[in-house]
Amino acid sequence: MPSLSDIKSLLSVFASVAVISCTSGIPDAALQDGSLPLVSPEYAGTTIPCNIAPLTFTVVDDAEACITRFSSPSGSGFSVRGKDVTPKKAQWRKLMAESEDADVTVTVYEKKSGKWTGKQPFRISVSSDPIDAYISYRLIEPTYEISGDMAICQRRLSDYREKEIYSNKMDFDGTSRQCINCHSYQAYGTSNMQFHVRQRDGGTIIFRDGKAQKVNLKAEGMLSAGVYPSWHPSEPLIAYSLNSTKQYFFAEGKQAAEVIDSFSDVVLYDPDRQAVSIVSNDPDDLESFPYWAPDGKSLYYCCASTDSVARAAKTNAISNAYDQVRYNIIKRSFDTAAKTFGPAETVLDAASEGMSATLPRPSPVEPYLMFTMAPFGNFHIWHKDSDLYLMDLRTGEYRSLDALNSSDVESYHSWSSNGRWIIFSSRRDDGRYTRFYIAYFSRDGIAHKPFILPQADPGHDRRLFKSYNIPEFMTEPVPYTPKQILKTVKGDAVKAHM
Amino acid sequence: MKSFPRIVNCACYAAVAAVAVYLTAHYSAYVYKFHALSMFEGSWDWFAAHFDRPAALLTWCGRLFTQICCRPALAIVLLMLLLAATVWLIRRYIVCDKRFGALSVFPATLMLLFVMRLGYNVYTLKSDALIFTQPLGLLCALCLFRLLISSRGGIFKPLFVAVIGFPLSGFYSLLALLMFSFRTLVRGGDNKRFAAAAVSLASAAAVPYLWYLAAFNGANQAYLWLYGLPYPDLSGLWGVAWPLVAALALPLLLCLIPFRNKEHSSRWLSAAVAVFSAAVAIPALYILPCRDSLLHRQLKAERCIEAGDWDGVLKQTALSDVTNDILVAYRNIALFRKGQLVEKCCSYSFDCVPVYVNGNQMVSSRLAGPTIFFHSGLVNFASRWAFELNLGNAYALERIKYLAKCALVNGEYGLASKYIDAVGRNSFQHSWARRYRALLSNPESISDDPELAPILKINRYSQKFWLASDKAANNVPAFYLYMDTACDTPEFLEWAMATAMMTKTQNHFEDLYSAYAAAFPDMPESVRQARLIFAVVSEDSQRIDAVREDLGDSVKIDPDDRLNYAHYYYQKRYAEPF
């Protein structure tokens, strides 16, 4: 039951609000304090796009009341009362318009023991490079084996509007839930999209120009159905990895689990012919995470090479070898007319440096390749020391993106269509629940300090028991309704063939 | 004779009151478990996330009320008040004929039986807040029925009730519409009654679908008319579900009793309905005195574990010779934590009776995984199972608390803070949250904490064992429970065999031994000795002979020596008390 102290604190908040509401604007007699305010999430020194939703945060300092002032370079701006700082959309839009390619100054005033103090202001840079209008992601508990409610969602970045593209609640029969995963789009558009449904009514749901199809991608002779997808940027082709994956658990330590591929290949699927062809299936190699170059003339993927450790990894003795499986980044040229691939070229020999590189993602506009790297393995979301790296494809040199990395996991990442923004997943907040961070990537190849995907309620992420998973930028919303998608999910699957 | 109905009615009400006293006396740990296995955050997030499905408000209210179960006596009083209101509404608006007034207690009694006789299913609930959601739903249906039979409103009133009621209470609004249709059809005297009944039935059939088309993206169309009912929990469990089905069917039947109709033919109809209703209800009453003593001992032992009362655990687990694997595990934990495991693990009355565990019990045993693993110091396994069970069943306060404590022991303070905050948003858990929040980022306090310090100490002894997902991890809460398939390393197999001995699961021990022998033929002598010891402990002469023959003469033990293999194993690792 609420205690007496709870009721007292509630009354004091009401009293403070009453006092503040009698004053207007910023307190005149505020003392100045040299320290930065304690706010969550933290935005000081970040760079944000001019079309982003209002940044919201909570002042965590133990203050009786707060007023936060947002100022444009010209000095105009607005104030927000209360510890939960949630700017109004119209005011925010005006502020962004006035602050393009300049800084917004944020000053927090706190009232303690009846006296107002102005904390040291912090700045947020506003870039005139817009970010794509939408992102999509999967909302899922950081689960091990049993699935809960999960949904693939789209979120408008200019505000907080989130809509479910498809949710496994819609086909929940009371006992078993579907797993839905690996949403992917062609060239940032959404009329061509795909995702997988596993377990009941399983199959790969592919939409092409308004037409839906459910496909069973496990053609005869393939080791699994398609897993990690990548649409060709212009052709009706999707590259998939095929993965035979197992999950293992640690009895102690902060790493709870390790996910390991016993076998994996990369294939190409042609939805017009429902035909699958092999890209790479060396029996001694573990290939995964394909991704097309922006011109569609080459395909990147990661591959653990044929050495004794990789072979050991394919046996049940994996427990002795899991931390020695290391992936390199490979590229194969692609002839669009003949639909054939060239020989494998090693883009990054990470294994020789005792590291394992995965998730190669080339910038859509510049010769950069971003990837995730950790000391071993390919499922880096469980690796605390996983970080983001950037390779200059002109020189082959790569570097850690220190501005983006933290002491915890950084993993899945995507470029915006103009190449100026990066969204990536990180577990820096609590070590378990993945959140999205967005960073500006300037034309001189520098990644700026990231900010967390803003939420209407600044406490939302802290309360949410789900992870944000697989961020993908989109230039438009998905045009298909959940019920349209459900109809396809419940329909019969077309069997792919080799 | 006129006073006879009154006497019967009074007797019925007295019986219900006696049930309340009985429940309070014997079911407090059980009622408490509803609270521990429910979750209420006190924020609008859950409500917002579930409003795309019917009956969100009803479930939300049920979750809110379920929190009162942390004070079991209070919860039972509240439950009885809800059921008394149900009886009153039925008596006032459905069974208006005083001669049949006693029938009004049956639906409420059956509802009570349903929630109290869930037994082990209380662990596996997927529907939130079953203990209060269903009684609240029935009450809601009766209130809507009362609204429908009021004189105001035209024949389209059922449509209005369906449109408003279905999103809020799901199936229970449809029940009200069905009751109204039945009552309207038998009421007589009104020319529009057929039209009203038709509108009511059509609304019950069509409105859910219209709502589905308009708003309910989160609903499964195939189960659209069932939202509000605990159908995910009861599919395939008709033995458990039928008191609920009867509780919901009886108001429908009772609506067939004509409303203050004095005609002779109607009296016969009333009597027939009354007899039939009693025939539906009375057989269910036989389960009232049945009480699963193992479950209730287990629940009491869990409360003792929660309080760190290891003597209490030992008391509960030693109350009879009949046991199950979870009680054995709880007893072992208590002995372990008192530093008496090695001396006493085979010293109680049922130590020589190996437990044979079937598949169904394995499933229910997993539900004790977080408790068993955590108090055995295996925090990653405890955390994993708490997480899996939250997803497989419903989010539960108890399991969030384990997640918080595991994160504290692991030094994951950000994560611990998230879980503690989630628990603290429940108005009844402020003091719990305050206690554990004080430990955040404070390893010294954790190592001094009377509850967490021993766990921290034991956790340091844990080895980096591997559990393959499709083998051991799915089938084993391994430490004190059992496993049925092989794992990767001989060390793990030895460990698992030791736990099989501890839980006396002889069949699993043999499975493990076979797996060990196949994978590692050069097994140590001690493992062979262990097999012989376990056979001797079983006191099954045929089995002992078979094992002796299989092992040959080289393996020797002293059958009288209580220092068995489990002793050897645990002495090596956990010799000191915690």
CB within 8 Å: A251 and B411: no
Determine which of B124, B210, B220, B441 to mutate to test the interface with A (most A C-beta atoms within 10 Å): B220
Q: Which residues in chain B have their CB less than 8 angstroms from residue A249's CB?
A: 380-381, 384, 466-467, 469, 473
Instruction: Check residue A231 and give left, alpha or beta (phi > 0: left; psi -120 to 50: alpha).
Output: beta
Cα A57 versus chain centre, distance: 20
Q: Which residues in chain B have their CB less than 8 angstroms from residue A430's CB?
A: 412, 414-415, 417-418
Q: Which residues in chain A have their CB less than 8 angstroms from residue B383's CB?
A: 256
B422 φ, ψ (degrees, to nearest 5): -60, -45
Q: Which residues in chain B have their CB less than 8 angstroms from residue A142's CB?
A: 387
Check CB contact of B391 with chain A, cutoff 8 Å: yes
DSSP H or E stretch at residue A47: strand A47-49
Q: Which residues in chain B have their CB less than 8 angstroms from residue A147's CB?
A: 391
Cβ-contact A68, A59 below 8 angstroms: yes
DSSP B61-115: HHHHHHGGGGSHHHHHHHHHHHHHHHHHHHHHHT--SGGGGGGGHHHHHHHHHHH
Q: Which residues in chain B have their CB less than 8 angstroms from residue A139's CB?
A: none
Cβ-contact A149, A168 below 8 angstroms: yes
* Residue range B164-214, pLDDT digits in tens: 999 999 999 999 999 999 888 876 666 677 888 899 999 999 999 999 998
**Angstroms from A309 CA to nearest CA on chain B:** 17
DSSP A130: P
Q: Which residues in chain A have their CB less than 8 angstroms from residue B467's CB?
A: 248-249, 251
DSSP B184-212: HHHH-S-TTHHHHHHHHHHHHHHHHHHHH
A138 φ, ψ (degrees, to nearest 5): -105, 135
B392 φ, ψ (degrees, to nearest 5): -70, -30
Interface of A with B in 445-484 (CB under 8 A): 460, 462-465, 482-483
Q: CA–CA separation, B67 vs B429, rounded Å?
A: 9
Q: Tell me which chain B residue has its CA closest to the CA of residue A316.
A: B488
Instruction: Please give, one letter per residue, the 3-state secondary structure of B45-66.
Output: HHHHHHCCCCCHHHHHHHHHHH
CB within 8 Å: B412 and A254: yes
Check CB contact of A160 with chain B, cutoff 8 Å: no
Check CB contact of A146 with chain B, cutoff 8 Å: yes
**Angle separating helix axes B293-307 and B310-317, nearest 10 degrees:** 170
Q: What is the pLDDT of residue B459?
A: 65
Helices and strands (H, E) in chain B, number of each type: 31, 1
Check CB contact of A432 with chain B, cutoff 8 Å: yes
**Angstroms from B384 CA to nearest CA on chain A:** 8
B282 φ, ψ (degrees, to nearest 5): -60, -40
- Higher-confidence residue: B150 or B356? B150
Q: Which amino acid is at A238?
A: I
Instruction: Report how many Cβ contacts below 8 Å link chain A to chain B.
Output: 133
Q: Tell me which chain B residue has its CA closest to the CA of residue A254.
A: B410
Check CB contact of A174 with chain B, cutoff 8 Å: yes
Residue B387's contacts (CB-CB under 8 Å, 6 or more residues apart) are A141, A142, A143, A144, B399, B403
Q: Report the SS3 class of residue B118.
A: coil
Q: Which residues in chain B have their CB less than 8 angstroms from residue A458's CB?
A: none
Asked if residue B294 has pLDDT above 80, the reply is yes
Q: With pLDDT > 90 as the criterion, what percentage of chain B qualifies? A: 25
> In this predicted complex, what is the ipTM?
0.90
- Strands A193-198, A451-452: pairing is unpaired
Q: What is the pLDDT of residue B343?
A: 52
Asked if residue B374 has pLDDT above 50, the reply is yes
By Cβ distance, the residue of B378, B427, B463 closest to A2 is B427
Q: Report the SS3 class of residue A369.
A: strand
CB within 8 Å: A465 and B422: yes
Determine which of A145, A262, A481 to mutate to test the interface with B (most B C-beta atoms within 10 Å): A145
- Region B336-353: mean pLDDT is 52
Q: CA–CA separation, A155 vs A424, rounded Å?
A: 15
CB within 8 Å: A251 and B462: yes
pTM for the model: 0.86
Check CB contact of B219 with chain A, cutoff 8 Å: yes
Per-residue model confidence as pLDDT tens for chain A (498 residues): 444 444 444 444 333 333 344 344 667 666 778 889 999 999 999 999 999 999 999 999 888 999 999 999 998 999 999 999 999 999 999 999 999 999 999 999 999 888 889 999 999 999 999 999 999 999 999 887 788 889 999 999 999 999 999 999 888 877 778 899 999 999 999 999 999 999 888 999 999 988 999 999 988 888 889 999 999 999 999 999 999 887 777 766 778 888 888 889 999 999 999 999 999 998 888 999 999 999 999 999 999 976 655 555 555 555 567 788 899 999 999 999 999 999 999 999 999 999 999 999 999 999 999 999 999 999 999 999 999 999 999 999 999 999 999 999 999 999 999 999 999 999 999 999 999 999 999 999 999 999 999 999 999 999 999 999 999 999 999 999 999 999 999 999 999 988
Q: Tell me which chain B residue has its CA closest to the CA of residue A433.
A: B415
Q: How far is CA A441 from CA A48, A159, A189, A365, A392, in A?
A: 11, 22, 22, 12, 13
Residue B218 tokens, joined: 């989160």
Q: What is the pLDDT of residue B484?
A: 33
Residue A158 tokens, joined: 């200019």
Check CB contact of B392 with chain A, cutoff 8 Å: yes
Sheet arrangement for strand A84-85? A39-40, A57-59, A84-85
Q: CA–CA separation, A358 vs A259, rounded Å?
A: 14
Q: How far is CA A387 from CA A323, A355, A357, B411, in A?
A: 17, 11, 10, 22
Q: What is the pLDDT of residue B190?
A: 66
**Angle separating helix axes B105-116 and B130-149, nearest 10 degrees:** 160
Interface of A with B in 372-431 (CB under 8 A): 429-431
Residue A327's contacts (CB-CB under 8 Å, 6 or more residues apart) are A286, A288, A302, A303, A304, A350, A351, A356, A357, A358, A377, A378
Q: What is the pLDDT of residue B340?
A: 65
DSSP B261-311: ---HHHHHHHHHHHHHHHHHHGGGGGGSS---HHHHHHHHHHHHHHHT-HH
Interface of A with B in 63-122 (CB under 8 A): none
Determine which of A149, A173, A252 to mutate to test the interface with B (most B C-beta atoms within 10 Å): A252
Check CB contact of B220 with chain A, cutoff 8 Å: yes
Check CB contact of B41 with chain A, cutoff 8 Å: yes
Q: Tell me which chain A residue has its CA closest to the CA of residue B232.
A: A174
Establish whether the linkage from the previous residue to A479 is cis, with ω within 30° of 0. no
Q: CA–CA separation, B182 vs B179, rounded Å?
A: 5
- Region B19-44: mean pLDDT is 83
DSSP H or E stretch at residue B416: helix B413-424
Cβ-contact B63, B152 below 8 angstroms: no
Closest-CA residue to B208 (of B247, B180, B168): B168
